[in-house]
Structure 1
Amino acid sequence: MSVTLWHNTACSKSRNALKLIRDAGLDPVIVDYLADPPDVATLRKVLADAGLRASELVRSNEPVFAELGLAGADEAQLVAAMGAHPRLINRPIVITEKGTRLCRPPERVLDIL
């Protein structure tokens, strides 16, 4: 099975999701989305595949969220902001043939392995 993990090594939830994936005997493709941010089209696809709204994926507690005045922003504005400022993307995101999930809590990854 192919598994892709949008990963941030500084995030404990992301590290825990990675551990669960590896404990299941899988070796994921790890995407450092901070160093190699997804474009807007990829973000839209992930949102659609996961059944999420941009407001559910954005990290509203990041300082840049307030700096950009994103409170009350529409979906298109949030997606554009996440594309330009990947720190705004919540994690971990896991993509498999069985689905795409924002794995918060990390155990949500088990549903798609």
Structure 2
Amino acid sequence: MIAPADVVIYHNPECGTSRNTLAMIRNAGIEPHVIEYLKTPPARALLASLIGRMGVSVRSVLREKGTPFQELGLSDESLTDDQLLDAMMAHPILINRPIVVSQLGVKLCRPSEAVLDLLPNPQQGAFVKEDGERVVDASGRRVAPEGPRHE
């Protein structure tokens, strides 16, 4: 087993995708460092660094559903990365989740099984998401998706 600090999850316990991701990390025998980012948001420089390490745009990490995205006019494509980061700092709910950091990389884990690519340890048994979708079989092997799902 690796040290707990080797995997970090920016987590929202109210989010099913985030709960499933955390459970898959634990199913690999890893107790991650859990940061409830709505209570303890990452510093602006850290968030910018995480986004850079993911290799994605700032806009791609913005969450629209259940946030003030529309009210703040964040769909305006002329907004700069700095303006988007400012909005995320003012309203951490705009940061999409869960973001997982491990020695293998940084990723926004949507869908939740994306976390499997970041875990240094294999799954230690079967895993079924909260909605009943099987992700890992009893041998710890990834199960092929059953069809389109929206998590």
Give aligned-pair identity as a percent: 44
| TM-score normalised by length of structure 2 | 0.72
Larger radius of gyration: 2
Structure of greater relative contact order (alpha carbons < 8 Å, 6+ residues apart)? 1
Contact 2:67/2:94 (8 A) holds in 1: no
Root mean square deviation of aligned Cα: 1.0
Which has the larger share of helix? Answer: 1
Equivalent residues, number: 113
* Map of 1:15 onto structure 2: 19
Contact 1:43/1:83 (8 A) holds in 2: no
* Map of 1:91 onto structure 2: 97
CA shift digits 1:13-45 (9 cap, x unpaired): 000001100000000000010001112101110
Residue 47 (structure 1) aligned with residue 51 (structure 2):
yes
What are the ranges of 5 or more consecutive residues in structure 2 without an aligned counterpart?
120-151
* Map of 1:110 onto structure 2: 116
Distance in 1 (CA, whole Å) between partners of 2:30 and 2:44 is 28
* Map of 1:35 onto structure 2: 39
* Map of 1:77 onto structure 2: 83
Distance in 2 (CA, whole Å) between partners of 1:52 and 1:60 is 17
Q: Which amino acid aligns with 1:107?
A: E
What are the ranges of 5 or more consecutive residues in structure 1 without an aligned counterpart?
none
| TM-score normalised by length of structure 1 | 0.95
Residue range with higher mean Cα deviation, 60-69 or 93-102: 60-69
